[in-house]
Chains A and B, each alone.
Chain A
Amino acid sequence: MGTLHFSDMHALEIQGLAKDYAVGFWKKTSRTALKSLHLNITQGETFGFLGPNGAGKTTTLKLLMGIIFPTSGTASILGRDIGDPEVKRKVGFLPEQPYFYDYLSAPELLDYYARLSGVPADARQKRIEELLERVGLRDVGNKQLRKFSKGMLQRVGIAQAIIHDPDIVFLDEPMSGLDPVGRHDVRELIQQLKDQGKTIFFSTHILSDAEALCDRVGIIHKGELRGVGVVNDFRSSVSDKTEVIWLGAAALASVTDLVSDTHITGDTVRGTVQSANLDRLLEKLRHQSARLISVTPINRTLEDYFLAQTQDKDKEEEKEAVRS
């Protein structure tokens, strides 16, 4: 994996953070929501926290924001323990599918949050106007939030998260439930924050968003961090598979043991071969007088990595369980 060049100081350090919930009527059974999580995020980095629904992404964010308390482990943001309320002056947070005080207008809501975050009185009004402009809500006036669409609420959500100009922004599923235009707009806003040098930690289960925005991603599944990788490495790294296209469907019968994922269109065959078997396949195709059209190494994608860390490992665990 490659290296990234950000400030040396960690914006976020998580050491063995874990959360168990007591469940059942007598609260005697324990359910693990997060298994000992170790993770460091550097300043200025955009980190994607990926995982299927229920993987433990929101639990992690709730622990970091002090909404729930860890069963064990510690975490610090910008060098200060997460239990210290003062650290939150530097932190912005957008919860998943946020709900705001719907009897307030957007400027009133932002003013409220600005006060809570300690934005000085003389700077508040200007900052609110700037942000409403930036998130495209300049013209909403005093309309109450109960009349806002989901996309508009998400924009308000982002505005409230950065009203106090935080150094690190945590976003929980910022694109979920938005239409393509809304998603594009939110992606643009995150990109702007990234360009400003903010540290961004966002959870998502939409891989294309992570691929477009993140420097690094972590895959979490069943409460466990399965892997962390640099996004650029996925783009440049080559997998152990090659796509081969040839003309001559009759030749397929003699190479079925070598190719997979075959698609036949007329006389054209497209298939995937393990790179180690490529020479044997080409040799056999030549023997069968098939006409080779292309041989293309397949790049690894974030999706491959994600699936490898979630489904493939699950299958391995199942096999292990059967064996034992």
Chain B
Amino acid sequence: MTSRLSAITLNTFREAVRDRVLYNLVLFVLLLVASAPVISQISIGMEKLMLVNLGLSSISLFGVIIAIFVGIGLVSKEIEKKTLYTILSRPVRRWEFIAGKYLGLLLTLVVNAALMTVGFYVALLIFTHGLKAADGMLLVAIYFIILQFMMMVAITLLFSTFSTPIFSAIFAFSLFVIGTFGNDLRNFAAMSQGATRWLATAAAYAMPNFASLNVISQVAHEQSVGAQVVLFNTIYAALYSVAVTAAAVLVFERRNLK
């Protein structure tokens, strides 16, 4: 099982790399370099705030875009091109295929984010002429971004098992936007009455809550993030990802492939 799972994972990663997905790193570097003159015009003290916001938001956004655009094709492309025929005719369980695809794309996003993080810290070093202990907290924000990727990959993978790439992209992007305002949805539910409250609460729990995973502004202002928040966010993202991936497996297990 482990051998099959790792083979599918590594092949998914290799596909992303050979399809030049990591070229987005070049864009990321260009963005940092291009923003340098603008940042240097800003008053002292603010430039770091600006750089952290720009750098971390870019790591998040680039990753989410890759998660959506690669994720929507993870299964549907294999069905469309019939490459799945030669996979399922081997001792590969359908859940192993889904899990391998999930881990492969997540690995791509983690490697991508890790390389961006290195670039980001280099930029930080250049602008601020040295790193402080508080800058370590930036890694917590990046860790939360990776938790966000875990959830987004599960979501796009689920859509990919039953929908066309275009609809999958629309659905996944919509969920990302809703999830970004996840706390607003929960506040709305808390203020509502009767059936609306019930429905809004159900929706708030069903939708991904990316707002809780966004601490970019907090760490940019050098505020710390509590260990309990780290733990709860980790558990939340893991449970949500497992539940959505399990749904993807359930759909795929029953699917007749054309």
Residues of A whose CB lies within 8 Å of any CB of B are: 21, 62, 65-69, 85-86, 88-89, 91-93, 95, 98-101, 103-104, 112-113, 115-118, 160, 164, 170
Contact = CB atoms under 8 A, between A and B. Distances in A.
Contact of A112 (B11, B85, B89, B256): B11
Contacts of B3: 115, 118
Interface stretch (B76-84, B179-187, B199-207, B218-226): B76-84
A5 to B, nearest CB: 29
> By CB atoms of chain B within 10 A, which of A86, A91, A103 has the most?
A103
Interface in B84-100: 84-93
Q: Give the interface residue-count category, chain B.
A: 20 to 34
Contacts of B90: 88, 113, 116-117, 164
B83 A101 contact: yes
A103 B14 contact: yes
Nearest to A170: B89
Contacts of A101: 11, 15, 83
B132 interface: no
Contacts of A98: 82, 85-86
Contacts of B87: 116
Contact of B85 (A21, A67, A91): A67
Contacts of A92: 89
A213 B127 CA distance: 74
Contacts of A115: 3-4, 6-7
Contacts of A160: 86
Residue among B6, B82, B83, B91 with the most chain A CB within 10 A? B91
21 contacts: A66-B88, A67-B89, A69-B254, A85-B92, A86-B91, A88-B90, A89-B91, A91-B89, A93-B85, A93-B86, A93-B89, A98-B82, A99-B83, A100-B83, A100-B86, A101-B83, A112-B11, A116-B87, A116-B90, A117-B91, A160-B86
Given A101-B11, A113-B90, A67 B4 contact: no
B18 A103 contact: yes
Nearest to A114: B7
Interface of B: 3-4, 6-8, 11, 14-15, 18-19, 81-93, 254, 256-257
Q: Which 10 A-B pairs have the closest CB atoms?
A: A93-B89, A115-B7, A103-B18, A68-B256, A65-B89, A95-B85, A88-B91, A116-B90, A85-B91, A99-B81
Nearest to A93: B89
A95 B15 contact: no
A95 B79 CA distance: 13
Contacts of B11: 101, 104, 112
Contacts of B7: 112, 115-116
A99 B92 contact: no
B222 to A, nearest CB: 44
A88 B82 contact: no
B6 to A, nearest CB: 8
Given A65-B88, A115-B7, 20 more contacts: A66-B88, A66-B89, A67-B85, A67-B89, A67-B256, A69-B256, A85-B92, A88-B90, A93-B86, A93-B89, A98-B82, A98-B86, A99-B83, A100-B83, A104-B11, A115-B6, A116-B91, A117-B91, A160-B86, A164-B90
B82 A95 contact: yes
B4 A116 contact: yes
A117 B254 CA distance: 23
Nearest to B8: A116
A57 B205 CA distance: 47
Given A103-B18, A112-B11, A67 B84 contact: yes
A117 to B, nearest CB: 5
Nearest to B11: A112
